[in-house]
Amino acid sequence: MPFARLNRATTPTSHIGLGLAAVGRPGYITPHRGRDLPGDRGVDALRARTHELLDAAYAQGVRYFDAARSYGCAEEFLAGWLTARPEVTDVVVGSKWGYTYTGDWRVDAEEHEVKDHSLATFERQYAETAELLGDRLDLYQVHSVTADSPVLADKDLHARLAELAARGTTVGFSASGPGQADAIRAALAVTVDGEPLFRTVQATFNALETSAGAALAEAHDAGVTVIVKEAMANGRLAGTEAPAVVREIGAEAGLDADAVALALVLRQPWAGVVLSGAATVTQLAANLHAPLLDLDPDRLDRLAALVEEPEAYWRHRASLPWS
């Protein structure tokens, strides 16, 4: 498992990863992007921003980087950064397949991505990923599995993924939606020749959405590495968007709200890697203070009051505009 490299790291930030969803394409569903991104959101400008973030993250101990085929040029940006820094050999690189980017580099596109978990899509997208990342790809994940995803029953696809795993690339999946727990349990039950197929799971868990917690604990207990995405609920738990209690706890510790949100997830015993989705170096620096925060029982009780019903949380997420 490539994540064993993180277990050998001694920095407190080694279990924070950097996700590139917010900087690999001009549009995404987080607020204040007009403030956070350069006025020019062309490919060259976002490549420069991505490389700036990767440099800052690596310098501060971050060792997992997460991309996807649907994140615009994220894989290309990451590949270019790795090529320019051959001395960087201790990072873990993950990407995802199953969504195709269709936004045509426009924020106002009618459709930004299209989901397809077919074997044909895997073959096409894996070839695209391999051309860019080559042998630097450590982890390839099925993007946004749900309990009814055809990927869970496609034996031909399972065999192909098992071949990829046998050649040394870890195979995982991400989950989304109010039924995350069911999707996680269903995916973990998939086997090839009696062996579990998926060795990592990436799921949403944060102060507002905790419904996948028990399933993620089960995955961890089964030896599966857990990666947590959207720890700041697509910006709802960061900056001025954060609920008052999150900002208050941060102020008590001299930290920003986003550090509080990340600290809550980092303290989960099953959380192997927690992703920062920072779009600026300043945001990243604030995120990386999360390991410093002590969440005592009183603070945990105050944060527990924020939990929403999963259906309400995901309904709100679906309503977020691309900007």
Rounded Cα–Cα distance for residues 177 and 319 (Å): 13
Q: Structure tokens of 161?
A: 């993924």
- Reported confidence tier of residue 246, pLDDT bands at 50, 70, 90: very high
Per-residue pLDDT tens digits for 217-230? 999 999 999 999 99
- Judged against a pLDDT cut of 80, whether residue 10 lies above it is answered with no
Q: What pLDDT was estimated at residue 7?
A: 76
pTM flag (> 0.85): yes
Q: What pLDDT was estimated at residue 5?
A: 84
Please provide the distance, in angstroms rounded to a whole number, between the alpha carbons at the two ends of the chain. Answer: 37
Per-residue pLDDT tens digits for 144-185? 999 999 999 999 999 999 999 999 999 999 999 999 999 999
Tell me what the mean pLDDT of segment 125-144 comes to. Answer: 98
Q: What is the mean pLDDT of the chain?
A: 97
Per-residue pLDDT tens digits for 64-114? 999 999 999 999 999 999 999 999 999 999 999 999 999 999 999 999 999
- Judged against a pLDDT cut of 90, whether residue 315 lies above it is answered with yes
Q: What percent of the chain has pLDDT over 70?
A: 100
β-strands 113-115, 139-145: how paired? unpaired
Rounded Cα–Cα distance for residues 269 and 264 (Å): 11
Q: How far does Cα 214 stand from its chain's mean position?
A: 19
- Judged against a pLDDT cut of 90, whether residue 127 lies above it is answered with yes
- Reported confidence tier of residue 188, pLDDT bands at 50, 70, 90: very high
